[in-house]
């Protein structure tokens, strides 16, 4: 009896997967100059939307004099949205360079991010305890500084590291929701 139920469940799940995949649509487009791309995936279990090299509103100001990071392997900006009945996430990120030192960029964003709550500064991984950001551990030898503010379901992160005589940094906004 138990094996029969397991086989039946396996067949039902396999059919549901095939129906879900067959009902999926994928649309990939180049959107004009500047390497802008758009990807939309629609399925019965949820949708995914990706936009690159578009206006990225993270809620934080851009460091004065910073320029978009021009890297052939990475987009300058990205907006990713996942919507499903059970959960969702929105991630907005923008990458920049500056001739200023990492300390100057960190100082600017430490002040800028205070508008969203207490700011945690980490040289390692970030985790969340009771919904608030905390430094999980220090990575020895890391030249990267991470600033984070907000709550687990809505937070902003700035990651700064040295680049030549200046800095490279990413500004990120993350919003999650449960269904």
* Per-residue model confidence (pLDDT) at position 72: 63
Per-residue CA distances from 172 to 62, 90, 155, 161 (Å): 12, 10, 8, 15
The values of phi and psi at residue 138, to 5°, are -90, 135
pTM equals 0.78
* Per-residue model confidence (pLDDT) at position 8: 38
* Distance (Å, whole) CA 58 – CA 161: 19
Burial of 109 (0-12, 13-18, 19+ CB in 10 A): buried
* Per-residue model confidence (pLDDT) at position 113: 97
- Tens place of pLDDT for every residue, the chain, 179 residues? 333 334 433 443 343 344 445 468 888 888 766 677 889 989 888 899 998 888 889 999 999 999 999 776 677 888 999 998 888 999 999 999 999 999 999 999 999 999 999 999 998 788 888 888 888 876 666 789 999 999 989 999 999 999 999 999 999 999 998 75
Kindly state the tokens that stand for 88. Answer: 């969702």
The dihedral built from the CA positions of residue 46, 51, 52 and 54, taken in this order, carries a sign that is negative
* Distance (Å, whole) CA 150 – CA 20: 36
């Amino acid at each position: 009896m138990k094996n029969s139920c397991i086989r039946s469940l396996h067949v039902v799940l396999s059919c549901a997967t095939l129906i879900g995949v067959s009902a999926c649509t994928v649309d990939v487009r180049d959107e004009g100059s500047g390497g802008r791309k758009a990807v939309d995936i629609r399925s019965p279990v949820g949708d995914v939307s990706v936009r690159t090299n578009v206006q990225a509103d993270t809620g934080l100001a851009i460091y004065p004099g910073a320029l978009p990071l021009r890297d052939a392997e990475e987009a300058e900006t990205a907006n990713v949205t996942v919507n499903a009945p059970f959960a969702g996430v929105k991630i907005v990120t923008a990458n920049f360079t500056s001739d200023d030192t990492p300390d100057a960029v960190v100082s600017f964003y430490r002040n800028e991010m205070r508008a969203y709550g207490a700011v945690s500064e980490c040289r390692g991984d970030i985790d969340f305890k009771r919904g608030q950001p905390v430094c999980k551990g220090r990575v020895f030898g890391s030249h990267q500084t991470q600033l984070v503010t907000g709550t687990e379901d809505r937070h902003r992160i700035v990651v700064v590291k040295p680049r030549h005589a200046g800095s490279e940094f990413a500004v990120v906004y993350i919003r999650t929701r449960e269904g």
